[in-house]
């Protein structure tokens, strides 16, 4: 049962994102961190599954838009453009602008350590909210939401590649020549569910060329890509 106070907070988010939910519980789940669910004794569902769905939807929506808009742009550059939109910093900034961080529910520990302002939490919550929109309203409304939020970035090429997006730089380097195969591999994770550390290795043509650590998988991938760039002599 969602309390009236919580419903009011959710309705405020609906106004900010421009979407009215038929099933408000979906938005409530999207704005529930795993630390809150863990402390509730299993009575609450957290947002990690919605985050997974939203991440995939976001990538598809942005990729399809760029494919149609920039018809003469090669694949490597489109990949870099897309990475600029879906990077952690960009998503976290959008979440903050929409007030998503203030509506997130955390366990006491995560709350005390500034969970509402952590980039990884904001990024994950944005993707979860998008996942909730998709589940409740379908792909067309989800697409409209993404294109509205990232209107400026999607219409100006100069905004599409952020500074220090090491993963995009890595992709550009290896795509200068055909035939290279690469993979970002999650090698380990440690810490409690609400405060994990992720460890990622990037493998190029069967050899590990970089390793990274971060508070999210994407942050760890960025660090692994940065290390790989230093080593590459392609």
Last residue of a domain, one of 159, 178, 209: 159
- 65-107 confidence digits (pLDDT tens): 999 988 888 887 787 778 778 888 889 889 988 999 889 998 8
Same domain, 130 and 182: no
* Co-location of 49 and 124 in the same domain: yes
Please compute the mean of the pLDDT values over residues 172-176 and round it to a whole number. Answer: 82
Residues 197 and 115 in one domain: no
- Please confirm, yes or no, whether 124 is among the known catalytic residues: no
Residues of the domain holding 211: 166-231
Asked whether residue 92 falls in the same domain as residue 191, the answer is no
Nearest to 120 by CA among 55, 42, 40, 188: 55
Q: How many CA atoms lie within 13 A of 215 on its CB side?
A: 12
Confidence (pLDDT) at 162: 46
Q: How far is CA 216 from CA 84, 87, 121, 194, 202, in A?
A: 17, 12, 9, 11, 15
pLDDT of 165 strictly over 80: no
Q: Decide: 219 and 227 in contact? Cβ < 8 Å.
A: no
Q: At what angle do helices 217-231 and 166-174 cross, to 10 degrees?
A: 50
- Residue-level pLDDT at 77: 76
Average pLDDT score over residue span 34-61: 88
164's CB contacts (< 8 A; 6+ apart) are none
For the residues 30-40, what does the mean pLDDT come to?
Answer: 87
- pLDDT value, residue 136: 97
Out of 12-26, 114-128, 146-160, 204-218, give the one with best mean pLDDT. 12-26
pLDDT at position 131: 97
Q: What is the mean pLDDT of residues 36-42?
A: 78
So what's the pLDDT on residue 187?
Answer: 95
Residue 144 annotated as catalytic: no
Q: Catalytic pick from 51, 55, 123, 136? A: 55
Total number of domains in the chain: 2
Q: What is the pTM of this model?
A: 0.67
The answer to whether residues 113 and 186 belong to one domain is no
Q: What is the CATH number of the domain that holds 125?
A: 1.10.1520.10
Select which of 51, 110, 124, 127 is catalytic.
127
For 125-131, what is the mean pLDDT? 97
Which of these ranges, 80-94, 135-149, 161-175, has the smallest mean pLDDT?
Answer: 161-175
**β-strand partners of 30:** none
Instruction: Give the range with max mean pLDDT: 117-131, 150-164, 174-188.
Output: 117-131
Same domain (yes/no): 13, 124: yes
pLDDT, averaged across the chain: 86
State whether 68 and 111 are in the same domain. yes
Confidence of residue 180 (pLDDT cuts 50, 70, 90): confident
């Amino acid at each position: 049962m969602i309390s009236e106070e919580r419903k009011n907070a959710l309705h405020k988010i609906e106004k900010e994102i421009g979407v009215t939910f038929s099933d408000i519980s979906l938005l409530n789940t999207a704005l529930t961190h795993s630390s809150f669910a863990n402390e509730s004794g299993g009575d609450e569902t957290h947002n990690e599954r919605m985050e997974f769905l939203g991440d995939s939807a976001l990538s598809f929506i942005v990729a399809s838009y760029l494919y149609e808009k920039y018809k003469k742009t090669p694949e490597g550059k489109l990949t870099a453009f897309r990475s600029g939109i879906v990077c952690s910093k960009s998503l976290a900034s959008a979440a903050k602008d929409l007030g998503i961080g203030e509506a997130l529910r955390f366990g006491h520990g995560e709350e005390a350590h500034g969970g509402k302002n952590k980039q990884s939490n904001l990024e994950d919550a944005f993707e979860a909210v998008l996942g909730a929109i998709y589940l409740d309203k379908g792909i067309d409304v989800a697409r409209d939401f993404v294109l509205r939020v990232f209107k400026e970035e999607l219409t100006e090429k100069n905004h599409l590649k952020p500074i220090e997006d090491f993963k995009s730089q890595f992709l550009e380097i290896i795509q200068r020549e055909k035939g290279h195969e690469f993979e970002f591999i999650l090698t380990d994770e440690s810490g409690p569910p609400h405060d994990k550390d992720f460890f990622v290795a990037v493998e190029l043509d069967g050899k590990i060329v970089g390793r990274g650590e971060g508070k999210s998988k994407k942050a760890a991938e960025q660090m692994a890509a940065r290390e790989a760039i230093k080593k590459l002599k392609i």
